[in-house]
Amino acid sequence: MPAYKRILLKLSGEALMGEDSYGINRGTIVRMVREVQEITNLGCQVAVVIGGGNIFRGVAGGSVGMDRATADYMGMLATVMNSLALADTMRQEGMTARVMSAISIEQVVEPYVRPKALQYLEEGKIVVFAAGTGNPFFTTDTAAALRGAEVGAEVVLKATKVDGVYSADPNKDPTATRYSTIAFDEAIARNLQVMDATAFALCRDQKLPIRVFSINKPGALKRVVLGEDEGTLVHV
């Protein structure tokens, strides 16, 4: 039995690269999709937000000198590409997914309409929310918090390259230690960069817990959905 009826899964865009230096690694996306399939088979309703860090980030090196809002729109378009790749891989694996975009590109994907998204979830379809919040100066972590709250998800699951929230960035500080649980207020006060403060604050205000865990650990997503201890729980 899954511990949650409905979840918002935030998938790392950067992790899609696998061992490559850019873009979407085929084996990696198939593996991610199969992990999602395992939890839908448990009867869990799944909404997904995927990042764009494998292609473009508004604040990254490739955008130096650019107008920030323009660069951020490019980042949002990168998430649309990842969302399309994800939904198509789901189709190939026999799953039914719908992509909904926060920015208007109706020849490519349908627009985000909340009641329609809720209908798809009730029908057992996977809904992939593309283009983040639709606004520059935000991130897909904040989009995950926003959409998670909108669709009434019971938890935001951040599947990323690290296996939880640490006292400092574990990729920079080898002495960093992992929390098994941490309160939103403490994560914000300590300025822990695993998610942006806007996402933490929104989830805190909506009493929507977040679990951070590794996308690269086989079976971790299923363990989380079954309510087992995995990664870090960020709570009110």
Ligand X SMILES: Nc1ncnc2c1ncn2[C@@H]1O[C@H](COP(=O)(O)OP(=O)(O)OP(=O)(O)O)[C@@H](O)[C@H]1O
Q: Does the protein bind ligand X through residue 180 (CB under 6 A)?
A: no
Q: Does the protein bind ligand X through residue 161 (CB under 6 A)?
A: yes
Q: How far is CA 147 from CA 46, 125, 192, in A?
A: 12, 16, 22
């817990």: which residue's tokens? 209
Closest by alpha carbon to 194, among 6, 51, 31, 27?
51
Closest by alpha carbon to 8, among 221, 151, 173?
151
Element (H, E) at 98: strand 97-101
- CB atoms near residue 201 (< 10 Å): 16
Q: Which stretch binds ligand LLZGTKA7 (CB under 6 A): 68-76, 111-119, 186-194, 202-210?
A: 68-76
Write out the two tokens for 133.
């919040």
Give the contact letters, 77-116, x = binds to ligand X (CB under 6 A), - = no.
----------------------------------------
Give the contact letters, 128-157, x = binds to ligand X (CB under 6 A), - = no.
------------xx----------------
Give the contact letters, 3-22, x = binds to ligand LLZGTKA7 (CB under 6 A), - = no.
----------x---------
Residue positions forming the annotated binding site for ATP = 10-13, 53, 57, 160, 166, 169
